[in-house]
Amino acid sequence: MIVPTHVKRAFKYRFHPTSAQAAELSRTFGCVRKVYNMALAARAEAWTLRQEHVGYNATSAMLTAWKKTQELAYLNEVSSVPLQQCLRHLQAAFTGFFAGRARYPRFKSRKKSRKSAEYTSSAFRFRDGKLTLAKMSDPLDIVWSRPLPQGAKPSTVTVSQDSAGRWFVSLLVEDPSVKPLAANDTAVGVDAGLDHLLTLSTGEKIANPRHERRDRARLAKAQRELSRKARGNGANRAKARRKVARIHSRICDRRRDHLHKITTRLVRENQTIVIEDLSVRNMLKNAKLARAISDAGWGEFRSLLEYKAQWYGREVIAVDRWFPSSKLCSVCGALAERMPLHVRTWTCHGCGAVHDRDVNAARTIKAAGLAVSACGAGIRPQRESSRTGRLATKQESPRREP
C-alpha cells in the first residue's frame, strides 16, 4: 500500500460572521452558483449543438466576458477566486463523469444545493491565528475547537453554510502528525447490520445507536409544523424549515462522531480490515429498510475507514457483495441451502458447529478477504446486472425496520 508522505487534512470550525460578512458571503455563494450553472449550460450546449468540447480555459474566458456585460456586472462585486474555483470544480466533475466515477454534473439549486465558496491563498490572509477573507476588512470570529498543527499554513479555505443556518470554515493544511502506524499481524472481518451496527470476526458486536429514532418524534412534530406553513418565502416558513434542519443536523453530527470513533479504533488495532462491498444506493430503494439503512451510515463508515487506512498504512479489502457470508460455515466451509432472515443461530450440517449468524458472516468475510489478498489479487465488486436488474440487497438485513 502506498502511504502519502505529506497528508493534507481539512480542519473544520464554526464561526459567527458579522452582518456585513454574512451579506458578503451570501452574495459570493449566489455568484458561485450562477457562474457554475452558466458554465455547465455553455458546455452542454456546445457539445449538443456543435459536438465541441469546452474545457476550463474556455469557461474561464467566458467568465471574463460575462463580467463585462451589464446584466452580470454584479459578479465583479465579489472575489474572483471563488468564481474561478467553481469552474475548476466543474472541470473535475466532468473528468469524474467521463472516467465513469460519477454521474453527469447537475445544476445547482438555490434552495437545495450546498452553499459554499473556496478561497485559495491569494484570496485570504492567515496571521496570528486570525483569518481574513478577500473583500473583508475584519477577520472571521472562529471558534477554535481544536488547534491546527504547529506552524500549519492553510493552502485553501472553504466557507460554507448548512441548511440549519450554521456557518463553517474548513482549512486545508499539511498535517505532519499523520504517520504510518507500526505494522502488526492482526486482521478483522466486519459484517454490517441493523440489529447491531457492526459485528466483528472476534465475536464483538457494536450496538446500533439509531440516532434518527431517538429524535423521530421531535422531527415528525417539526415537519408537521412546517407542512402547515404557507408555501413561499415567508418568515414563518423559513423559521420552521430551519427548525427541521437543526434536528437533522444534530442527528447527522452524532452519527458522524460515532462512526469516526469506530473507524479510528479499527484502524489503530488492525493491519487488515475486511468488509463487504455493499451497494448502499441500491439498498435504499427498499422502502421498508431505507430509513434504517440511512441511519446506520454504512456508506460513510466505508469512506471514513478507507481514507484513515490510507493515512496510517493499513489495508481495507472489500469482499464481493454476493459472497454467501451468512450461509457459509466458517469452520468447515459447508454451504447451507437456505438461510431465512429470521434464523439468527444455525447448526452446520457438515461439522455440527453452532454459529451465530452475524459472527459467522464476519469470520467468513475475513477468511475470503485474506485468501484473495494472499494471492496478490484484488477483489472486484460486482455491478448490478443489466439484464436481470437484480439489486444488491444485504441478506442479513431484517424484513422490516426495527
Q: Report the sign of the C-alpha dihedral through residues 227, 233, 238, 244, in that order.
A: positive
Q: Is 175 among the residues known to form the active site?
A: no
User: Which residue is catalytic, options 24, 212, 276, 295?
Assistant: 276
Q: CA-CA distance, 145 to 131, in Å (whole number)?
A: 15
Cβ atoms 15, 141 nearer than 8 A: yes
Q: Is 191 among the residues known to form the active site?
A: yes
Cell of 43: 458546455
Q: CA-CA distance, 241 to 317, in Å (whole number)?
A: 41
User: Which residue is catalytic, options 24, 118, 212, 358?
Assistant: 358
Amino acid, res. 228:
R
Residues 6+ apart with CB under 8 A from 264: 308
User: Which residue is catalytic, options 191, 212, 295, 396?
Assistant: 191
Look at the block and give the residue holding cell 466458517. Answer: 330
- CA 221, 227, 232: angle at the middle one, nearest 5? 140
Q: What are phi and psi of 345, to 5 degrees?
A: -135, 135
Q: Is 356 among the residues known to form the active site?
A: no
The residues with which 167 forms a beta bridge, in sequence order, are 161
Q: Are strands 272-276 and 315-319 parallel, antiparallel or unpaired?
A: parallel
Active site residues: 191, 276, 358
